[in-house]
């Protein structure tokens, strides 16, 4: 599962000629960077963005020791969660059910054990302990009470919203920018994107680049896609992985909630276009865990999601699946 603080961007904004004045804000957010491009007489101040980030981090960042989620994960049952937390919890619950558990924020206990969480990796964790930890996961074991507190069914549990919180934060930024009366903008955090209106530089849709899944730090654009008042998020395992120094075994950061294992998927990169970046972010993670066959089957009955899935076939050849009604919006480089 990708993490809010270490996840690397899989999308690159494609530049265009300066034909209209665009305002730009850039900075650090959620362990990566953010970029906001907008056309308006209004001015969005960096301090306004920073204040939003501060509230979200204090609510849901597992990398902030005194955040609400960190206190809850430490066993504090007195925490009253805020509106951001409740919205992400409810979205997670909905997508957990829709994907039959392939998207599961309770998998964080295994994410930590595999060395992709705030505490790093410990060689002490055995296969038997991994199996025991797997028995503790299941987002249906986590409840939001009427008085806005979180309770767990099991004695040990852990919530990790890192696979959805970045997309959610993009949505919060977008809502804030719209509240300023801005009609044409792009918001990006670590590669997760939401756009409204047009890129007035050339009076055309906002175009986003999707990278070829290459290991070793190489970056090469594979596709460009036009977005129309939509959001896009990408998940992949080709950059974020860990090699066990003793065994040489490779562990990818996406954990399959069904097996509890860090296992390589035949989906190399999952790019999801949805109405909200919250949904795009979460479903991209789910498709990595599902694999290509299950993802394609899921999409047959969930047509509101559009995808570009780069996958490896049975012979190890790289292939691409693009949703049929998305194909006219996608350009191969």
Assign 129 a pLDDT band (cuts: 50, 70, 90): low
Per-residue pLDDT at 259: 72
Is 3 contained in some domain?
A: no
Q: How far from 223 is each of 106, 118, 217, 252, 322, CA to CA, in Å?
A: 33, 33, 18, 24, 11
Going by their DSSP bridges, the two strands 267-274 and 261-262 should be labelled as unpaired
By residue range, what is the domain housing residue 249?
A: 11-332
Is 185 a domain residue?
yes
Q: Which residues contact 111 (CB under 8 A, 6 or more apart)?
A: 1, 3, 117, 160, 162, 253, 255
The residue to which tokens 């209209």 are assigned: 20
Domain total of the chain: 1
pLDDT value at 7 more than 70? no
Query: Is residue 245's pLDDT more than 80?
Result: no
User: What confidence score (pLDDT) does residue 18 get?
Assistant: 45
What distance in Å separates the CA atoms of residue 118 and residue 256, rounded to the nearest whole number? Answer: 19
**39, HSE (Cβ side, Cα atoms, 13 Å):** 16
Cα separations in angstroms, 160 against 117, 138, 170, 198: 9, 12, 18, 34
Answer whether residue 5 is part of any domain: no
Higher pLDDT: 236 or 135? It is: 236
39 occurs within a structural domain: yes
Per-residue model confidence (pLDDT) at position 316:
83
Higher-scoring residue by pLDDT: 168, 329: 168
Residue 221 has pLDDT above 90, yes or no: no
HSE-CB for 312 with a 13 A CA cutoff: 12
Cβ contact 277:288 at 8 Å? no
- Tell me what percent of the residues of the chain surpass a pLDDT of 70: 78
CATH number at residue 212: 3.10.520.10
Mean pLDDT score, 108-136: 63
Residue 35 lies in a domain: yes
Query: Above 60 in pLDDT, residue 207?
Result: yes
Whole-number pLDDT of residue 215: 58
Query: Is position 51 within any domain?
Result: yes
pLDDT-above-90 percentage for the chain: 61
Residue 6 lies in a domain: no
pLDDT band at 323 (very low <50, low <70, confident <90, very high): very high
Query: H/E/C letters for each residue in 215-246?
Result: CCCCCCEEEEEEECCCEEEEEECCCCEEECCC
CB-count burial class (<10 Å; 0-12, 13-18, 19+) for 256: buried
Are 221 and 12 spatial neighbours (Cβ–Cβ below 8 Å)? yes
pLDDT tens, 248-292?
443 345 777 777 666 677 888 899 999 999 999 999 999 999 999
pLDDT tens digits for range 68-97: 999 999 999 999 999 999 999 999 999 999
* Closest listed residue to residue 249, CA positions, set 155, 121, 150: 121
Q: β-pairing, 150-152 with 231-236?
A: unpaired
Assess whether pLDDT exceeds 50 at residue 4.
no
Question: What is the pLDDT at residue 158?
Answer: 87
Helix ranges (DSSP H) in the chain? 46-60, 68-73, 83-98, 108-113, 127-134, 165-179, 277-290, 292-300
Average pLDDT of the chain is 84
**Residue 118 scores a pLDDT above 70:** no
- What was the pLDDT predicted at 214? 64
On whether the CB atoms of residues 101 and 138 are closer than 8 A, the answer is: yes
Assess if residue 125 is contained within a domain.
Answer: yes
Specify the pLDDT at position 218.
Answer: 55
Residue range 112-133: mean pLDDT, rounded: 60
């Amino acid at each position: 599962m990708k993490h809010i603080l270490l996840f690397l961007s899989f999308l690159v904004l494609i530049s265009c000629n300066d034909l209209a004045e665009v305002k730009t804000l850039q900075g650090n957010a959620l362990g990566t960077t953010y970029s906001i491009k907008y056309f308006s007489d209004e001015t969005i101040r960096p301090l306004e963005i920073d204040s939003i980030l501060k509230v979200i981090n204090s609510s849901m960042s597992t990398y902030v020791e005194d955040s609400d989620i960190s206190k809850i994960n430490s066993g504090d049952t007195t925490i009253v969660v805020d509106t951001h937390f409740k919205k992400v919890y409810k979205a997670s619950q909905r997508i957990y059910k829709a994907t039959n558990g392939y998207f599961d924020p309770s998998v964080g206990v295994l994410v930590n054990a595999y060395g992709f969480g705030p505490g790093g990796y410990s060689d002490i964790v055995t296969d038997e302990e991994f199996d025991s930890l797997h028995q503790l996961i299941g987002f249906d074991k986590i409840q939001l009470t009427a008085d806005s507190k979180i309770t767990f069914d099991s004695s040990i549990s852990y919530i990790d919203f890192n696979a959805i919180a970045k997309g959610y934060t993009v949505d919060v930024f977008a809502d804030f920018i719209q509240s300023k009366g801005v009609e044409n903008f792009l918001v990006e955090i670590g590669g997760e994107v939401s756009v409204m209106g047009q890129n007035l530089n050339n009076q055309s849709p906002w175009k986003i680049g999707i990278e070829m899944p290459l290991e070793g730090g190489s970056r090469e654009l594979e596709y460009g896609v036009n977005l129309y008042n939509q959001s896009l998020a990408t998940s992949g395992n080709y950059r974020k992985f860990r090699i066990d120094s003793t065994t040489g075994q490779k562990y990818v950061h996406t954990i399959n909630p069904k097996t509890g294992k860090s296992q390589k998927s035949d989906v190399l990169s999952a790019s999801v276009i949805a109405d909200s970046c919250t949904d795009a972010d979460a479903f991209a993670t789910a498709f990595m865990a599902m694999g290509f066959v299950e993802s394609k089957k899921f999409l047959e009955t969930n047509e509101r999601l559009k995808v570009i899935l780069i996958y490896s076939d049975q012979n190890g050849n790289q292939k691409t699946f693009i949703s049929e009604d998305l194909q006219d919006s996608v350009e191969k480089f």
